[in-house]
Amino acid sequence: MSERSRLLRKLLKAGDQDLILKCAWRVHQQAAELPLFAGLFTPRDVLIPVPKSAPHAPGSMWVAEHLATALVREGLARCAWTGLHRVRAVRKSATSIAGRRPSVLSHYDSFAMDDCIEATGRIILVDDIVSKGRTLLAAASRVQESLPSAQVRAFAMVRTMGLVPDVAHLVDPCRGEIRWKAGDAHRSP
């Protein structure tokens, strides 16, 4: 199961379009079937894909944007808006040594918002993978600053499990929180 999990992560990070569409369909299915996800998405929500670690280059793959677009196609939100972007690069969390990953503040300082979309309802940040949650916490802070009356939530297709030696389930949906605590992001579960 752990090998399948790593393959799924690899294909998702590579932007495999078939996988992204299947993932969006599966999210739609589970949002309808699982009480855990009741109300997670509504047709009025605006999805904001979380930017990659470097400013977006035209024509380059942006997995979170493709995922957000696929979720909209599934009817889970009103639209996807790409107005949150990086103004400067940060180290990739996935390739950084544990103690040298970018801080919440580094991520926050690297983000900027375009002149705002008309959004006073719910905003859902969409990311492909969440590890500790620093990127999502920083993105949520930047979005909330620009859209103070909006309710900001986040959705990640995959969550890392840290140093768990063996993953028990390939699909294991959860609902949790990322909070600022003791000077860093803390994710539960």
Domain residue extents for the chain: 2-188
Whether residue 163 has pLDDT greater than 70: no
Give tens-digit pLDDT for 23-40.
Answer: 999 999 999 999 988 889
What type of residue sits at position 55?
A: P
Contact status, residue 153 vs residue 50, Cβ threshold 8 Å: no
Give the Å distances, CA to CA, from 116 to 96, 143, 176: 32, 9, 28
Residue with tokens 């030696």: 165
The CATH number of 2-188, from 1.20.950, 3.40.50, 3.30.530, 3.30.200, is 3.40.50
Task: Specify whether the CB–CB gap between 137 and 189 falls below 8 A.
Answer: no
Quick check: 142 pLDDT over 90? yes
pTM for the model: 0.92
